[in-house]
Each structure stands twice: as C-alpha cells, then as structure tokens.
Structure 1
Amino acid sequence: MNVSSLLLGSVAALISVSVARAADEDSAPGPIEYVKVCDVYGSGYFHIPDTETCVRIGGYIRYDVGLSDVRSYDGIRTSDVRTGEAQGTWRNNTRFTFKTWTRQETELGALKTYTETRVNFGNHNAYPGPESPHKYSFNSGVKLTSAWIQLGGLRVGKDESAFDTFTGYAGNVLNNVLVPYGDFDTNVAQYYFDADNGFSALVSLEQGSGVVGTIDSHVPHVVFGVKQTQGWGAITGVIARDSDYEALAGKLRVDVNVTDDLSLFGMFGYGSIGNLNDDPTNAVAAHGRGFYKIWSGNWAFWAGATYTLNEKTSFNLQVSGDQLRNSGLAANVAYMVVPGFTVTAEVDYAHYGNFGVGTLDRSGVNWTHLGKKNSLGGILRFQSSF
C-alpha cells in the first residue's frame, strides 16, 4: 500500500465517523431532568421540579382479623341466616392509607403540609350494639384523617385533637381504647412552641366532631399543653375545656426510658361532668358526654411498657381502668418479617363495670347497658408500610 492510498483511506474513515456522530446528535433526546433527593428533611423526600418544595409519599396496607365475645376489638355479633340464632363471627378489616408530606423553607419559617386518607373494607358492629350488627363486609367509605398546613409553629386544618397527640397515644398495643382516653377527629387552629432545650408548649382551638362533640356556638373547645423532654423520658400535661358542656378534662403522662430496650409510660386522666350532671355515678352523665372526657366516671388511668427483644421483635403491654370499674389489659408481640412488613398478634381482656363501656354512639343518644361482663378477644394484624 502506497502513501496516497493510506491518506485517502484515513480521510474516508474520518468522514464516516463525523457523519455518524452528526446523525447521533440529531437523533439524541433532550436533556433528562432527574429527580433530586431532598435529604435535609429525612429519607424519602425529593424536590418537586422547578420549585423549592420537597415532597414525600407513603402509607400502608393493613389486614386485621379479630375474635371476641363482647366488644374487645369490636367483636361481631350476628345471627345464623337460616335459623336466626344469635352467634358470633370473625371481625375482618382491610385498610389502605395514603400519606403525603411537603416541606419548604421560607422567611417566616418552615412551611409544612401533611395529609392522610384511609379507605376500609370489612365488617363491624353498628352502634348502639349487637342488636343492629353489620354482619356483612362492605366499603366503609373514605376517611380524611389529616389535612393540615403549618407555617412555623402555627397549624390549621384537619388533625387529631391535641388532647391526644400532644401526650401521645395510650401505648403500642392495637386495642388501646379498652378504656377510651379522648376523641380524635377535629378541625384545629393551634400554635406549637419549642424552646430547643426540651421544653415545649401548645395551645389548640378545636371544633370537635359528632353530635355531642362539635361546638354549638362561636366558642371553640380549647386545649393547652406543656411538655419537658430529657434523655430519661418526658413529662407531659394537657388540659381541655369543652365549650358545649363547660367541662374541664386533663391528662398527666410520664414516659421513662429504663434502658435502650425497655420503655415505660403512665397516664392519668381526670374530668368534670360539666353542666350535664355532677353525679359521677349517673349512667348517662358519666359516660363521657362531650369531646374530651369520654372515659367513665371522673378519673381513669393507662399504663404500659414496650420491650425490644431483638432487632425484629418487640413486646407491648397496656393496662387501663376508670372510676366505674371498667378495666382493660392488652398485650402483643410484633414481629418484623422483612423491612416494611410486620405481623402483630395481640390478646385483649376487658371487664365492664356497672354501666358498661364503649364508644359513645355519635348520634348522640344511646349507650349499651352491658352490666358486669368479662370479654376476651384477640387480633392478628398484617401490615406493609411504604
């Protein structure tokens, strides 16, 4: 091969490469806009494109099956479709919960939002009691659990009552309301103060919910709370004024971190009956008319423990009682099968005193008079969170 042939071949090769590159450039897609991680607010957040807002999406799918004789986890009373004979059946429920969080820094502080929506399918007793059961499974509709906006310490929107969220729920058991400790659904306008030294405080103006819980004038329900948190645990107190019945209710809670694996809590509640009736033995008055003191009698207590057996397994316990000799005991073992999927098995025992106990019929009228009755039940829960 001579020199001229070599040069001509080289030029031809260069031209071929240039043409190929040009063709590739003409057919290449535009720049790809990748999702930007926003880890300043924790894992799972990402930037909404072309904004300064970070968003996180999550939720869970849950399946519960329960069995009991009287109201422990809403035990189902039904009747045989052929003979009409009264009998029990399984309590089944499937829930899908969808959650969103957003965060954005502004000159007035962090702007936050949170939403939680639940959809359920299953069977449950219709109040006032087993006389009118829903023995069949059905879609119980969509429930808006939370939808609030918070700027700095100011929060407005739909949330659970600060009477319960500020103190924390009554333990890590599934059925933690064998003795009820407060109502939940409400619109709120509240301000939260955090001193960054373990001290925090909150004031919440609330609308309430249900016939006997929603405010009946322009005067809202009011909740005030203070908390001191340290490495050993926390002390929390809340007091609430029900504007409908001009009644006061309060709770004091102590949390103790005994070890890295063992934590304990104790909570005591006291409430006045208000203008309805001052006699704590009156069956109608004592059963919590109003939005906050929904336990029986003036006082009630809840105590419990969580013990982490290993990185996958924990044991949870709760005991509770009130002035009218209603009491409950719940214990479970929660096992994380794989990250994001947990199975929990729980046993519940309840003793109902002279006037029975349960959730007040939110039509505002009826209570089931059970007399003295013992109830033993169980729950098996499968939950996958994302």
Structure 2
Amino acid sequence: MSLVLGSVAGLATVAGARAADLPVAKAAPVEYVRVCSTYGNGFFYIPGTETCLRVGGRARAEYQYSSTYNRDQDAVGFYTRGRIQLDVRTATAWGLLRTFVRYEITRTTGTPFNLFGGTAGVSNGIPNTGTISTSPSVAEAFVQFGGMTAGRAVSFFSDGDLPTEHFGTLRFDDAPDVNLLAYTFSFGNGFSATLSLEDAEDRRLPGFIPGGLEAAQLFYGGDRMPDIVGNLKYVGTWGNAQLSGALHQLRSLALTNPVGGPVIFGPGIVGSIPDTEYGFAVAGYLTFNLPQIAAGDALWIAATYTDGAMAYMNGGNSVTAIDPINELGASGAVGMVDGYIDPITGDIKRGRGWSIAGGLRHYWTPDIRQSVFGSYMRVEYGGGASTITPGGFAVGLSDFNELRLGSNLIWSPVSGLDLGLEIMYAKIDPRGDVFVPSSVVGVPGTVQSSSHGWEGRLRVQRDF
C-alpha cells in the first residue's frame, strides 16, 4: 500500500513540474483612447501615436423664399448640405504639423439657390427655374507645417475671424475657399503677416455685357501668374484688425467681332491682342468684442476697394450677376465684371468699386442671439462702358449702387444646434434708366430706374 501511494505522489510531482514548464497565455494589454486636450475639445490621440485627431461635421437644411419679377422664377428654394471633416495635429521640433480635410455634398432646388444659367463665372441672366443641383466638393484640404499652408483653404485676403452670422450674401470677401500656397510670419504679441499665392481662376469675373455701344467683352486668356495676396493681422483681447491686399492679372484673348453685337472695332483692332493689365484689391477688417453688453457680443466692419479685381468684394462668389433678389441683377441688366475692352484703342479698361459691410451680434440670453447687418457697394466702369441715350436710358455696363440690409434670430437649445430665421432686403440704383428685356417671347420688356427685393430664410443646422 505504501508503495502505491509513493508512486502516485511521485507521478503528481513530476506532472506538476512539467506543467510549470508550459507557457502561460496572457491577455493582450488594453490600450484605451486618450483625450488630447492640447488643441481644444474633441481631440483624442490616435492609438499608438502622439498624433491628435478630431472628427467633426455638419448637417444643414435651409429653406428660402425670395421675391420674384416674372413667372420664370421660382420663389421657393430648398437647400441641404452634409459635411464631414478631419483635423489631425502633431507637435514636432519644427512646429505644428496639421492636416485638415473638409468634404461637402450640397443639394439645391429652385432659382433662389441655383441662380442663373451660363458658363462658370458668366451668367446668361436666365433663371434656372425648376433646377435640381447636387455638388460634391472638397471644400478644404490643406497641410500646415510651421508657418506654411498648402492646399485649399480660406483666402488670406479674408479675415476668417470676423464674427459674421448672416445666411445670405453681403458685399465683402466673405471667407471663400481657394487653392493656395502661403507662409505666415508670427511676430508674437498677436501680430502676424502672411504672403500667399492664390488661384486666380477663383477670382475671375469676365462678365456679360448687355449691348454696350462702346465696350467689348473681355474674354480671359490663359493664366500666367497666380493672384498675389498679403495681409497684416493683429489679434488681441479687445478684438482683431487686418489689412489685406491682392494683385490680379487681366490677360485677354485676341479680339474678334462680336456676333450680332453693336460694338464696332476701330481700324486694325480685330485680331490684335490687348496689353495685359493688372488689377488690385485692398481691404481692412475690424472686430470689437463687447463683453460689457453680453458675453459673446461683437461688432465687425469690412471695407474693400477694388480696381480690376471685383470678385474680392463680391461675397466670395465667382458669379457675374448680382443675385435673383432684385430684378435688375436677375435680368443681367446690371452686373459686375473685372473689365472690358475699348473697341477703338483695343486696351483693357478696368472696372472699379468699393464696399463697406458690417454687423452687430448680440446675445439676448445664452441660448438666443441676434445679428443685424448690411452692406453698401458702389461699382463704376467709366464713360466708355455705358451710354446714356437722349431718352435717359443706360446702354452697356451701367454704374450702380447696391444696398443690403438684414437681420436674423438664432436659437441654440442644445450645444451645436442652431434654429435660425433671417430676413434680407436689397436695392439696386443704376446710373440712368435700364431696359430689362422680357424672357417671354412676344412680351415687351420694361424700363426701370431702380429695383429692390427681399428674401427670407429658415435654417436648421447641427454641428459636431
């Protein structure tokens, strides 16, 4: 019996020793996502790296009702936009390395959002009645490394820090996205300067001339240089200030006789090539924070002057017509162009203009805010672009003034959600009476000395 027990004990000892020699499976360590607070809320470290990522986006629904001038226009428009964006940042020995991508898909219906027919940058004045448009786009995609910015980003001519919250269009450079290559010099204490090479294609307004007697349309030739943009900026606790400038090339194709047009070229002009001209734009921006009234309150002002670079005060929109909010702009009778060609000399003549825009944002409560805003614009082309007939009619590119006034009220019941209602009024006063052709065959046109209109917008937007 003792022999048997001893054998069993020996076998148990040997078995235990062998078991101790076998490898033991261990659970893989769990790597939890770490919050990255260096760059603000919403960032987290990509597992296994020291790179911070923020995923964001937007869903916007907007509904517009605009005054119309004939049965060809839709009064109602629907607008929906979806946005997804990624913001990736890494601290390096050379400074911040940042990559930002914003992708948007927009679907719109009706004249209020689809404006007019025609080629890119050139309106034919015909409303896109009943039009449905879907436009996927890379709104922004850029790399920042130290002071360098390369890709598609907000133009450095604009001040992206302005506390503007208008839904419709005002006449200043309202933070358009363009392709660019820029370098920003930071001097400390809130001061910086930027030099930027920006895509001139985004800033062309070749335009459409409705029967000018002494002006021929400028047809742009191929680019030979980008727009050169620079700014000086200061950001402080009281607000911020920025001074911007841009140089824009006007390079024409060879001159040809207009088909069916009234313009008669001087001897030897047809077939010649106008000398290249250079337009420019300058702008000043000011923001004043007003916490003494209420937290978040602010006043902003933007003043712009352009000479041959009209898109820099056109709300960031590369379109010729003024908008369907008023009759003269909708008909194509009044428009904005960079310049035209003198048919006698063959020289390029530049259009000129200036605008001032501004607004006040006030928080009635932490959840309810209101903005009041407006803009005034003056556009001049000179005596060669327009002729006042003995009957007082303006023929050609008319000088004009435009006034826009509006207000909105936005309720944010929860963080990231905006429910807003906006009303905007616009009026155009051209130099002389303007003949507005009818879009209906057999129906005579009308003669008008000014035009005005209004639009209302309802917006539901969620940002995350």
**Which interval holds the TM-score relative to the shorter structure?**
0.7 to 0.9
Query: SS at the partner of 1:35?
Result: coil
What is residue 249 of structure 2 aligned with on the other side? 243
Unmatched runs of 5 consecutive residues or more in structure 1: 1-24, 71-76, 79-84, 275-282, 291-295, 357-368
Paired residue for 1:216, among 222, 228, 231? 222
Aligned to 2:30, the other structure's residue is in SS state coil
Kindly indicate whether the alpha-carbon contact (under 8 Å) linking 2:373 and 2:407 is maintained by their aligned counterparts in 1: yes
CA RMSD of aligned residues (A): 3.2
Cα distance, 1:269 vs structure 2 = 0.6
Report the 3-state secondary structure (helix = DSSP H, G, I; strand = E; otherwise coil) of the residue aligned with 2:38. Answer: helix
Q: Sequence identity of aligned pairs in percent?
A: 23
Partner in structure 2 of residue 289 of structure 1: 338
The verdict on how the C-alpha distance between 1:266 and 1:211 changes in structure 2, with shifts beyond 3 A counting, is closer
1:109 corresponds to: 95
Instruction: Say if 2:164 is the partner of 1:171.
Output: yes
Query: Where do residues 267-306 of structure 1 align in structure 2 (5 Å cutoff)?
Result: 267-273=302-308, 287-289=336-338, 297-306=352-361
Runs of 4+ in 1 over 4 A off after TM superposition: 25-29, 167-170, 283-286
SS of the equivalent of 1:32 reads: coil
Q: In 1, are the aligned partners of 2:172 and 2:304 still within 8 Å (CA)? A: no
1:376 is aligned, of 438, 447, 454, to 454
Contact 1:97 1:119 in 2 (8 A): yes
Corresponding position: 1:52 with 2:50: yes
Q: Does 1:95 align with 2:81?
A: yes
Which amino acid letter does the alignment assign opposite residue 173 of structure 1? H
Residue pair 1:67, 1:377 contacting (<8 A) in 2 also: yes
Distance in 1 between the 2:132 and 2:26 partners? Answer: 55
Which string of whole-angstrom CA distances, capped at 9 and with x for unpartnered residues, describes residues 180-222 of structure 1?
A: 5368342111111222202111111111335837993442211
Other-structure match for 2:146? 152
SS at match of 1:41: coil
- Taking the aligned partners of 1:183 and 1:308, their CA distance within structure 2 comes to 23
Q: Which amino acid aligns with 1:384?
A: R
Amino acid corresponding to residue 121 of structure 1 in structure 2: R
Of 286, 291, 315, the residue aligned with 2:370 is 315
2:61 aligns with one of 35, 42, 63: 63
Change (3 A) 1:374 1:284: closer
2:305 aligned partner, one-letter code? Y
Aligned residue runs from structure 1 range 318-357, under 5 A: 318-323=373-378, 324-354=400-430
Would the aligned equivalents of 2:405 and 2:424 in 1 still touch at CA under 8 Å? yes
| Post-superposition offset of 1:346 | 0.4
Query: In structure 1, what is the equivalent of residue 115 of structure 2?
Result: 125
Instruction: Measure the CA separation in 1 of the matches of 2:236 and 2:428.
Output: 37
Rounded Cα–Cα distance in structure 1 between residues aligned with 2:448 and 2:46: 54
Q: Report the CA distance shift for 1:65/1:239 in structure 2 as closer, same or farther (over 3 A).
A: same
Secondary structure class of the residue paired with 1:353: strand
Residues 225-264 of structure 1 correspond to what in structure 2 (within 5 A)? Answer: 225-244=231-250, 245-260=277-292, 261=294, 262-264=297-299
Larger radius of gyration: 2
CA 233–370 in structure 1, closer or farther in 2 if over 3 Å, else same? farther
Deviation digits for residues 107-141 of structure 1 (CA, Å, limit 9, x no counterpart): 11110011111101221233336634141434x12
Q: Deviation at 1:86?
A: 3.7
Secondary structure of the corresponding residue to residue 37 of structure 1: coil
Distance 1:155 1:224, change over 3 A: same
The amino acid that maps onto 2:88 is T
Q: Which residue number corresponds to residue 293 of structure 1?
A: none
Aligned to 2:35: 37
Letter in 2 for 1:117: Y
2:333, 2:108 → 1: CA distance?
A: 31
SS at match of 1:30: coil
Displacement after TM superposition at 1:172 (Å)? 1.6
Q: TM-score under structure 2 normalisation?
A: 0.63
| 8 Å Cα contact 1:170/1:302 also seen in 2 | no
Trace 1:128-207 onto structure 2 (pairs within 5 A).
128=123, 131-138=126-133, 140-164=134-158, 166=159, 168=161, 171-175=164-168, 177-181=169-173, 184-207=176-199
Q: Is contact 1:313-1:336 (8 Å) kept?
A: yes
Structure 2: which 5+ runs fail to align? Answer: 1-22, 118-122, 206-219, 251-276, 310-331, 340-350, 379-399, 435-446
Q: CA deviation at 1:351?
A: 0.6
Q: 2: distance between equivalents of 1:117 and 1:97?
A: 6
Quick one: distance in 1 between partners of 2:166 and 2:52? 33
SS in 2 for 1:246: strand
**AA of the residue aligned to 1:270:** Y
* Contact 2:172–2:356 (CA under 8 A) maintained in structure 1: no
